[in-house]
Amino acid sequence: MPLLLLSALKYALIALIWLFFLFAMRAVWRETRRQARTTVATNLVTVPLNEPAPRVSAVGTHPAKSAGKVLALEGPYTGKTFTFETPALIGRDAGCSIVLAEDTFVSQRHAEIYLERRHVIVMDLGSRNGTFVNGDPVQAPMRVTKGDVIQLGKTALKVVAK
């Protein structure tokens, strides 16, 4: 009987080691796939150390203007296309350029999209639930390009044109 018990424990230990190995490989696979989807080097925007990034900016503080278009992929506005002119505010407030009033997880003034040196930049305005670009949190102004997905609350907006 003890020999049978020892054999069972040995096989259970081998199974646990394989299970650990498979979970570790899955984590590595997910991390490499996430990095392949986002181009980290092109999405980062440098902010000089002596100039802190503004937490909240007002529309109109960015002089360059450009028209843009986003398509809602998820959330209450699925399938709707929003056309805007930068700088544009995104939020539930009626004064925003892109109003997401039906998404209660979006702040009144959630994020801002503006043009800087021919690049479209998205910046979180201190929202409670955060803003994400291709699954990565926006902690500083981040460059977005055509095809990127901006997640605000339950709403996912795909950049169609800049």
Span 36-68, pLDDT tens digits:
544 444 455 555 544 444 444 455 555 556 677
Measure the CA–CA gap between 86 and 95, rounded to whole angstroms.
14
The tokens for 58 are 């007002």
Examine the pLDDT at 143 and tell me if it is beyond 60.
Answer: yes
Q: How far apart are CA 135 and CA 126, in angstroms?
A: 17
| Mean pLDDT calculated for residue range 88-100 | 89
73 beta partners: none
Rounded mean pLDDT, 78-89: 86
Compute φ and ψ for 22, nearest 5 degrees: -65, -40
